[in-house]
Amino acid sequence: MRSYKIYGVKTMTEYVDFIRENCKSEEVLFRGQPVDKPLLPKLARLDLKGPTLAAEQRMMREFKRRVVPLLSMQAKSSWDWLAIAQHHGMATRLLDWTLNPLAALWFAVNRPPMREKGKVLAGVVWVLVPRPSDYAVASVKESPFKINRTKVFRPKHIAARLVTQAGWFTVHKFMKTEARFIALESNKTYASKLTKLRIPPRSFSDMRFELDRFNVNAATLFPDVDGLCTHVQWLNSYLEDER
Give yes or no for residue 161 having a pLDDT over 80. no
153 lies in some domain = yes
Q: What is the pLDDT of residues 36-68, one digit of tens each?
A: 999 999 999 999 999 999 999 999 999 999 998
Which 3 state secondary structure label does DSSP give 162? helix
Task: Return the percentage of the chain with pLDDT > 70, whole number.
Answer: 99
Measured in Å, how far apart are the chain's first and last C-alpha atoms? 41
82 lies in some domain = no
Q: How far apart are CA 68 and CA 187, in angstroms?
A: 36
Structure confidence at residue 243 as a pLDDT band (50, 70, 90): confident
Q: How far apart are CA 222 and CA 219, in angstroms?
A: 5
Run of H or E including 98: strand 94-98
Phi, psi for 17 (deg, rounded to 5): -65, -40
The residue range of the domain holding 24 is: 5-41+93-235
Number of structural domains, the chain?
1
Q: How far apart are CA 159 and CA 96, in angstroms?
A: 14
193 lies in some domain = yes
Run of H or E including 32: strand 29-33
pLDDT at position 14, please?
Answer: 98
| pLDDT (mean) for 15-35 | 95
Give yes or no for residue 126 having a pLDDT over 90. yes
124 lies in some domain = yes
Give yes or no for residue 1 having a pLDDT over 70. no
231 lies in some domain = yes
Give yes or no for residue 172 having a pLDDT over 60. yes
